[in-house]
Structure 1
């Protein structure tokens, strides 16, 4: 450690460049991690609010909520602690100059999936909705009348709730009859018992009995099969893994070049009796210090960036994830230093000093 630290102090510019590269790589890794978490929450926030263990869908729906169609009397609650009915459609809501894609959930206000109202009041009459508070960022407010695409029905916002997004779209909560009016128009009465799913809370999903044409899906599987959810997460995860590889390669190149430049110095040190093990340990210690400094600076830069990002940017930092990624970055950096260690081990003192 003594040798590693003294060399860093005597070559500040050279090692500052290495720390700077590691800082930028870790900064990008941390930002991508936050973005992945933020996008994940945008897709499943409304589902997490249910705090449910499973969802009942039709077998042919392929875990897709809009493709599932069943009736209120298709399930009687057998095996569940409690259950709730859910109907869902997607639309475009417009109020004045404000426009947004929305998901509309038709629910029973007396069931557990009724959201907590953070502003205003819960819906009590036909065509009233409680909206996800992200709509406020688009200019919507309590009292706004929403015109929906493909229907003549208008809805009125009477309240807001937090963390209400489904497949990245803000959620509007309303009663089942209102949703049927929006979906079926004048034929709504004929479809008043139609829903898309039952949401269930239970101690054991295996105890939930349903009809042959229905299936019980655990909440995790339901979320993973949301359109684009897995593909999006996989893409960002691969980007983070590639950055780990890039970090190792970049540091390996830097250290290898530095090692080649110091072959004669290492040769003299070996001739004086300093072992290859000691020199290798010095390189490892030096790499650890550089990587640790780069990761810490990258973390601080990430936190500063996160503090100034606008709310519309879907970024959420999970500190345990950041810690794991930071440790991995340090580890792969040390792996990258192994190339330099091999070079040091192979140095012949006599040849290195020109003997």
Structure 2
């Protein structure tokens, strides 16, 4: 460690460049990690709020809430500890100034998927809704009347709730009758008993359905089947993995070049009896110090950047995940240093000093 630190102090510029590259890679990895977490939250916030164990959809829906359609009386075919009915519709809602893509959930106020109101009050009359708080950032407020693209009905925001987005859209929570009027218009009475799903709570998911036209799906499986959810996460995850590989290659190249430049010096040291193990430890220690400094600076810059980002940017930093990624970056940097270690081991002292 003494040799490694002394060399860093003597050749500051070289090692600042290496640290700078590692810092930029770490910064990009951490930011992509935050983006991946933020986009996940955009898709699943409202579902996570249910704290449910499963959801019942029609078998022919292919695990899609949008494609599922059943009747309320099919609730009798589900033998779970707790159940809640759910109707759903996607629409564009506007308050005269702003427009947003929204997802409307038709629910019962006395069932467990009813959200907690953080501002205003719960819906109590027809066409009243509780809105996700992200809509406030777009200019919506309590008391706004919403015109929907797919209906003549107008909805009124009477309250807001936190973390209520579904498949990247803010959710409007309404009673089931309101949803039916919005969804079916003049045919609302004929479709009054139609819903999209039954949300369930309970430790047991097997054998709770007696209707072979229905299927129960674990909540995590349901989320993974949301449109674009899995593909989006895989894309960002692969980008992070590629950055790990790039980091190892960059460190390997830098340290290899530095090692080649110092072959004669290493040859003299080996001729003096300094072992390969000692020199190898020095290179590894040097790499660890540089990588640790780069990762810590990258982490700090990421958190500072996150503090100044507008709310519209879907970034959410999961510190435990970021720490794991930081440790992996340090590990792959050390792996990259192995090539320099192999070069040192192969140095012939006599040839290196011109003997």
For normalisation by structure 2, the TM-score amounts to 0.99
- Matched ranges for 1:164-313 at <5 A: 164-313=164-313
- Matched ranges for 1:314-353 at <5 A: 314-353=314-353
Q: Is the 8 A contact 1:77 1:83 kept in 2?
A: no
Q: How many residue pairs get matched?
A: 355
How far, CA to CA, are the matches of 2:101 and 2:130 in structure 1? 15
Instruction: Tell me how far 1:307 sits from its aligned partner.
Output: 1.0
How far, CA to CA, are the matches of 2:49 and 2:189 in structure 1? 30
| Corresponding residue SS for 1:191 | coil
Instruction: Tell me how far 1:327 sits from its aligned partner.
Output: 0.6
Unaligned runs of 5+ in 1: none
Instruction: Tell me how far 1:77 sits from its aligned partner.
Output: 6.6
1:161 is matched with which residue? Answer: 161
How far, CA to CA, are the matches of 2:77 and 2:210 in structure 1? 9
Q: Is the 8 A contact 1:79 1:202 kept in 2?
A: no
How far, CA to CA, are the matches of 2:299 and 2:160 in structure 1? 34
Q: Deviations over 1:53-110 (max 9, x none)?
A: 0000001101100100000011227431110000000000011111100000001111
Structure 1 segments, 4+ long, off by >6 Å, are none
2:101 is matched with which residue? Answer: 101
Q: Is the 8 A contact 2:84 2:200 kept in 1?
A: yes
Instruction: Tell me how far 1:209 sits from its aligned partner.
Output: 2.1
Unaligned runs of 5+ in 2: none
Indicate how the Cα distance of structure 1 residues 236 and 86 shifts in structure 2: closer, same or farther if over 3 A, else same. Answer: same
For normalisation by structure 1, the TM-score amounts to 0.99
Aligned-residue RMSD, C-alpha: 0.8
How far, CA to CA, are the matches of 1:78 and 1:314 in structure 2? 37
Indicate how the Cα distance of structure 1 residues 213 and 77 shifts in structure 2: closer, same or farther if over 3 A, else same. Answer: closer
1:74 is matched with which residue? Answer: 74
How far, CA to CA, are the matches of 1:252 and 1:46 in structure 2? 45
How far, CA to CA, are the matches of 1:349 and 1:12 in structure 2? 27
How far, CA to CA, are the matches of 1:351 and 1:171 in structure 2? 73
How far, CA to CA, are the matches of 1:53 and 1:210 in structure 2? 18
Which segment drifts farther, 74-83 or 64-73?
74-83
Q: Is the 8 A contact 1:103 1:170 kept in 2?
A: yes
